[in-house]
Structure 1
Amino acid sequence: MNKKGCPEEYPITLIVNDFEVAVFQLTKHDLEDWVYGYLFSEGLIEKATDIEAVRINDESGIIDVTLSSEFDTELMFSKKKHYTAGCGRGVTFFSMTDVKTFNKVEAGKTYQLSYLLKMRSEFAKNSVLYLETGGMHGACIVTEAGEITVREDIGRHNAVDKVIGHCVRNELDPTTLLLLTTGRVSYEMLSKAAKFGFAVIGSRTAATKQAIQLAKYLNIEVVGYLRGKMAIQYTSFGRVHNDLEERVLGVNLS
């Protein structure tokens, strides 16, 4: 029998401009990327230079962030909290109504569905923590040149925040990138992708009805169950071309 290590998670307290936001369950890898991604997803920053300093204390489990400009953190975080579904508990301050105000995606690179399946396989091969433990979620971006960047965490939403943080820190254009995730695409996952501006999202598993409806409203292509040579195409805006014929299902929620 092959033995695997156990996935790890730790309580991490996020403090922004001396205001304690919340305690998150996180895996202690790429935490700085998570900070940038989470704060971007929540609308506290628009670019990397909006953060003046990030201080990560592994021993105390505290991340202390200083924003480069004045921001009414107390007003922002007094809004109703929405707890994310699934493992690695998270919190978002955006409601479904808030997310509908995000910009609709009007551009984006086009892909063959077989390419998404190929890159999903490469993603799996490069998910180091999952291969070590069998219990991690991951998110991955694929560039126009086919280069991939993987980020992993106990929580699927945290993994997406980490990869978004990588993009923000490196000033990457979201419409040129493919976002892949191992986790279920729920409304809060879709909102993170929409906030950054990804045009195409692929997942190893399902998308919720609320996420699909939101994706249709924001013109985002969502493909689920990317496994082997099969998939489910939830939305279609001409960015993902089905070159697998009968092996792909469509979902109609209208």
Structure 2
Amino acid sequence: MNYKGSPEEFPITLLINGFEIAVFQLTNEDLEDWAYGYLYSEGLIEKAEDIRTFEFVEDSNTIYVELQNDFQPDWMITKKKHYTAGCGRGVTFFSMTDVKAFPKINSMRTFTMSFLLKKRSEFAKNSPLYLKTGGMHGACIVHVSGEITVREDIGRHNAVDKVIGFALRNRLEPSNLLLLTTGRVSYEMLSKAAKFGFPVIGSRTAATKQAVQLAKFLNIEVIGYLRGKMAIPYTSAGRVINDLENRPFESVREK
């Protein structure tokens, strides 16, 4: 891998109906997907049609969003903020209690472990910003057809918001989709996936204890350390089938 440059991040201001929400550190790619995904993940919209207009003004690094309904900024001012861990620091307004109130996942779609590993490899080969800089996170939706959609960002949670925004704007049915990510699956990452309704999350790295607890409660299957022929199931809901001979995948036990 030949790195050609450092990863970039920009301070980008988000305004909703003229009210400034915050300044976010983002990679300047697929910002419309990010805005839709972020607003959905935080409960400010429920469907793509809730957004009347989107505009990104590059000169001022500002995103302007107009919602169909009146926006009540007092809700965001008074609600407790939870700052996310990791690079591309963000904030979520959902607590652990809030996330536990999300609908439990009932998808019957199944995947083989070899399919997850194949798609993880395909995802890695189709991450141009990472291949260029070596310092980007990515998130990937695997469609029913097997095709993939990849989004990248300096922040792992931003990348997940981008693929959620893509899925929302394209009216994709979450129960049939697979979410892959390069980043650690922490509680805020799990909450984003749960809010949209992904039945299976696969990551090239670990899942936190809080995320595993939430995943079990919400019936979401989490597979970590998807690398080469390696994988570790953190939770099991019968959706990921080990079809690899002589390879005993063992679940991680909570300590």
For structure 1, the 5+ residue unaligned runs are none
Provide the residue aligned with 1:214 in structure 2. 214
User: 1:114-193 counterparts in 2 under 5 A?
Assistant: 114-193=114-193
Distance (Å, rounded) in 2 between the aligned partners of 1:66 and 1:251? 44
Partner of 2:105: 105
Query: Does the CA-based 8 Å contact 1:181-1:204 persist in structure 2?
Result: yes
TM superposition shift of 1:17: 1.6
User: CA 1:204 to 1:242, structure 2 compared with 1: closer, same or farther past 3 Å?
Assistant: same
Aligned match of 1:249: 250
Question: Aligned to 2:250, what secondary structure does the other structure show?
Answer: strand
Gaps of 5+ in 2: none
Provide the C-alpha distance between the structure 2 equivalents of 1:119 and 1:237, rounded to a whole number of angstroms.
20
* Contact kept? 2:16, 2:71, Cα under 8 Å: no
Whether 2:73 is the aligned partner of 1:73: answer: yes
Report deviation, 1:55.
1.4
Q: Which amino acid aligns with 1:176?
A: N
Work out the percentage of aligned pairs sharing the same amino acid: 71
Amino acid in the other structure paired with 2:55: R
Structure 2 length-normalised TM: 0.97
CA-CA distance at 1:73 after TM superposition = 2.6
Cα-to-partner distance string for 1:136-180 (whole Å, 9 max, x where unaligned): 000000011100000000000000000000000000000111000
Q: 1:77 to 1:34 in 2, by over 3 A?
A: farther
Mapped contact 2:3–2:131 kept (Cα < 8 A): no
RMSD: 1.3
Aligned to 1:92: 92
Kept in 2, the 8 Å contact 1:11–1:26? The answer is: yes
Output the CA distance in 1 between the equivalents of 2:75 and 2:118: 45
Alpha-carbon shift at residue 72 of structure 1 (Å): 1.5
Question: How far apart are 1:78 and its partner, in Å?
Answer: 2.4
Give the CA deviation at 1:3.
Answer: 4.2
What is the number of equivalent residue pairs in this alignment? 254
**TM-score, normalised by the number of residues in structure 1:** 0.97
Q: Displacement, 1:59?
A: 1.6
